[in-house]
Amino acid sequence: MSVNISKVEVFTFENQKITLDHFKGKVLLIVNVASKCGFTKQYKALQNLQDTYESQGFRVLGFPCNDFGNQEPGELEEIKEFCSVSFGASFQLFQKIHAKGNTTEPFSTLNKVSPAGDVEWNFEKFLIDRKGDAVARFKSSIEPESIEIKQEIERLLN
C-alpha cells in the first residue's frame, strides 16, 4: 500500500514543527536510527548515499528512536556529535520518536506501508518518492548501499 506523507508533521532537531511536504520534490530515505545498535555502522552508508545522490535531489532523514533495547538513550546533541565524529554523518536528524506501539510521526503513517505493521528494529528504511508517496520499505538487515536500495533510489531520481 502506498502512503503519502506530505502532510505528516514532525519536529526538527531544533524542535520546529514542519510538515514533510517541506521536502516535496526530493526523494527521501526515512530511517529510525540508534547509536548503540548492531546496525549503527549503517550511519556511514546512509551518509554515503546522501553524498552520492544529494545533487540529484535525494535526502536521508534520521529519526532517533529508543524503542528497541534502549539503544538510543542519549540526548539529541550527544546523538548528533556521535554520528558526526564516529561516522562522518551530517544528514538531517529530527527529534526522538517512537517507531513501535504507540508510535509518533512519521512512523504512525509509515507503518501502513506494505508490509504493514510496526517497525521491527532500528534502521528500518522507508523510501519516499518526489510526490511524498512512501513506495518501498526495507528491513534493518538490508544495507543502505545495497543494490536493491540504490536501484530504487536511482529509479525514483530519473
Q: Which residues are catalytic?
A: 37
Q: Go through the chain and tell me how many residues it has.
A: 158
Joined together, the cell numbers standing for residue 128 give: 519516499
Looking at residue 101, its amino acid is G
DSSP 3-state assignment of 125? Answer: strand
CB 62 within 8 A of CB 46: yes
CA-CA distance, 85 to 88, in Å (whole number)?
Answer: 6
DSSP 3-state assignment of 82? Answer: helix
CA-CA distance, 19 to 36, in Å (whole number)?
Answer: 29
